[in-house]
Each structure stands twice: as C-alpha cells, then as structure tokens.
C-alpha cells in the first residue's frame, strides 16, 4: 500500500472514541432502547397496538396537564397561551443550564433567530397584537443583551478571538437577514406594520453594538492570534462553507413544492456569489495571508446565514422572499434605520473589555 493510503489507514488508529466515551454512549443507548423496546411480531399485534395507543394517550394527557406544562409550551408560538412560559421560563432555564460559554453564546444567538422567525410567521398570518409584540420585544432585548454579554466574556474565559468572532458574525448576519424578512412581511401585511416596526427598532438598537463587537474581535484576531491558529480556523471554515452550500443546493433542488424556477435562479445566483467569495478567501489563504482569508470567510458566513434565513422564510411564510431579495439588494442597503452610526461600528465602546494575550 502506498504512502498516502497508509497514512489514511493510520487515522483509524488515532481517531477513535476513548473507552469511557464509548461506555457513556452505550449507557445512553441502552437507556433509550429500554424506553423504546423492539417487540417481536405476534399474531395478537393488532390488539397490542390498540393497547399501546391507549397507554400513549394517557401519557400525553399527563404531560400536558401535569408537570409537563413546560414541555408542552416548547412548541408554542406568539399568541398561544403558553408562549410566555416558553420565552420567560423555558429559554432562560436552558441558558442557565448551559455551562460551556461558547455553547451558551451560540444558544443565545439561536434563540434570537428563533424569536425573530416566530414573530415573522405570526405577523405573516396576522396573529400579532400589542401584547404579543410587547412579549417579543422584551424577550428579544433580553436575549440580545445576554448574547452580547456572553460574547464579550468569551475572551475573558480563555476562548480564542476567532471563535468569539464567529458568534458575533453569526449574530450580526442573523439580525440583518431577519430585518430583510420583516421588511418583506410588512409589505405583504400592512396591518402588521406598526408591530413589525417595533421589532425592527429593537434590532436596530442592538445591531450597532453587535457590529462594534465584531469589529473589536476582528482587531483582536489580527493582533493576538498566531498564524498557525488562524490557519486552522481557516481550514475548518472552508470545509464548513462547502458542506453547507452543497446541502443548501440539494435542499432547494428537492423541494419542488415551495421553490419555483425564479427562486432557484435567485438561490443559484446567491450560491455562485458565495462560491466566488470562498474562492477569493481560498486564494488569500494560498498566498499565505490567512488573517485576511479568515476575514473573507467571515463575510462568507454572513452571506450563508442570510441565504439560509431567506430560504427558511420563503418556505414558512407563504409568500415570495428569495426572488424578491435578489431584486431588492439595493433597497436593503437604503434601510437607514438599521444603518450603524459609524462605517465599521465604534469599537471604542469595548475598550478595556478584552484582556491582553
């Protein structure tokens, strides 16, 4: 066997689960298997199935009416009776229970994304009122403040600047993309205009801070991180970007119910632009300027997040988002209320917050 093949084979020896990891997963698997037994086929199967359904119904009733209220509220949407429990109880509890600082910051960004998505869907079906909007504004503000706080403390907790930057880029692009979606919802449903405007103003008041955090972290990457560390981050980003683009292409191609030819062309255009950006970043990396490559991959991440958010919205809102976004890129830039006060954000807001290397 030749050299490269031998090296590949050796990976099977070095890349493996430890004994304790294997046991941990086996225990979890056994537990799951006990809760979901495989029953041998029996001539009495129809009767057994009927009994199972009856038992399942009792479990569901207990879950909803007993201690399972928080469980049942997880699927609540704006306007539902349990929505307040979801945003004021469930989500803060999840955050509090997430010890790892990076995972906690990522969770907060994911919850911001969820909040905005829920609100857009409720607005699209004209299911929002002042009370719902008050709740969403409060929850969104809390999540954004928590996200900013946690991103800022990542460095203090020893997390690399490039990892913290990833989360800041994710948050910024999530807020930008959802602003686009909400603009579109507002056009479709003029009655929701005032409520949507409140949410957009909430976003606007926080996006400046997000941009400042992003700028400061970019500076920290340039100044503090070694070329080797940045190179490793660049490699990971390339793999992730390629994988996500392939999966997105497959998803849109497969969903012929939601996406028409216009949508597919718009997505193809966006993916082509993103691929060009990936190539540009790859060239920078090839030339040895890995820090610039990392910055370019950050822009790739922003474009991917935007595209994915628009695709999700197109699927869930019932009116055109993607194709319209292709024609209204200029309009999005003119949306002055979300323009930051300075071109790259005022990173002096964060002076003294990042400890030295």
> Cβ closer to another protein: 246 or 331?
246
Q: Which two tokens stand for residue 43?
A: 């001539």
Is 149 near another protein (CB under 8 A)?
A: no
Angle, vertex CA 218, rays to CA 212 and CA 220, nearest 5:
105
Among 57, 61, 236, 349, binds another protein (CB under 8 A): 236
Is 254 near another protein (CB under 8 A)?
A: no
C-alpha to C-alpha distance for 284 and 278, rounded to whole angstroms: 10
Compute the least distance from the CB of residue 179 to another protein, in Å: 21
> Cβ closer to another protein: 106 or 150?
106
Is 238 near another protein (CB under 8 A)?
A: yes
Q: How many residues bind another protein (CB under 8 A)?
A: 58
Compute the least distance from the CB of residue 348 to another protein, in Å: 26
8 alpha-carbon distance from chain centroid? 33
Contact in structure between 215 and 347 (CB atoms under 8 Å): yes
The C-alpha R_g of the chain, in whole angstroms, comes to: 24
> Cβ closer to another protein: 128 or 274?
274
What residues contact 151, with CB distance under 8 A and at least 6 apart? 105, 164, 167, 168, 171, 213, 217
**What are the CA-CA distances from residue 332 to residues 170, 274, 338 (Å)?**
19, 18, 10
Among 36, 53, 99, 334, binds another protein (CB under 8 A): 36
Count helices and strands (H / E) in the chain: 15, 0
Q: With CB under 8 A as the contact rule, which of the stretches 84-92, 156-164, 179-187, 332-340 interacts with another protein?
A: 156-164
Query: Site residues (CB under 8 A) for another protein?
Result: 3-5, 7-12, 14-17, 21-22, 25-26, 28-30, 32-33, 36-41, 102, 106, 159-160, 162-163, 166, 170, 225, 229, 232-233, 235-244, 246-248, 250-251, 297, 301, 308
């Amino acid at each position: 066997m030749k050299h490269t093949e031998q090296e590949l084979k050796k990976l099977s020896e070095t890349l493996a689960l430890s004994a304790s990891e294997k046991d941990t997963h086996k225990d979890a698997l056994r537990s799951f298997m006990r809760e979901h037994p495989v029953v041998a086929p029996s001539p009495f199967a129809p009767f057994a199935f009927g009994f199972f359904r009856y038992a399942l119904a009792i479990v569901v009733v207990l879950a909803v009416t007993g201690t399972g209220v928080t469980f049942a509220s997880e699927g609540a949407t704006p306007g539902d009776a349990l929505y307040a429990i979801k945003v004021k109880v469930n989500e803060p509890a999840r955050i509090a229970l997430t010890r790892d600082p990076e995972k906690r910051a990522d969770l907060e960004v994911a919850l911001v994304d969820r909040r905005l998505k829920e609100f857009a869907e409720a607005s699209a079906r004209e299911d929002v009122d002042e009370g719902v909007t008050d709740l969403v504004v409060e929850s969104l503000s809390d999540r954004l403040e928590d996200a900013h706080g946690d991103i800022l403390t990542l460095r203090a907790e020893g997390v690399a600047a490039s990892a913290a930057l990833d989360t800041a880029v994710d948050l910024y692009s999530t807020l930008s993309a959802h602003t686009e979606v909400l603009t579109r919802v507002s056009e479709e449903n003029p009655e929701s205009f005032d409520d949507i405007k409140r949410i957009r103003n909430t976003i606007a008041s926080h996006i400046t801070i997000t941009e400042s955090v992003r700028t400061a972290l970019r500076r920290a990457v340039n100044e503090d991180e070694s070329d080797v560390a940045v190179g490793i981050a660049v490699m990971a980003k390339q793999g992730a970007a390629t994988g996500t683009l392939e999966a997105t292409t497959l998803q849109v191609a497969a969903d012929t119910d939601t996406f028409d030819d216009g949508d597919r062309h718009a997505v193809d255009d966006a993916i082509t632009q993103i691929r060009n950006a990936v190539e540009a970043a790859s060239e920078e990396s090839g030339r040895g300027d890995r820090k610039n490559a990392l910055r370019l991959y950050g822009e790739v991440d922003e474009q991917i997040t935007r595209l994915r958010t628009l695709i999700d919205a197109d699927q869930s809102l019932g009116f055109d988002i993607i194709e319209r976004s292709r024609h209204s890129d200029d309009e999005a830039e003119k949306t002055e209320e979300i323009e930051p006060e300075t071109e790259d954000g005022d990173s002096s807001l964060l002076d003294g917050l990042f400890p030295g290397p």
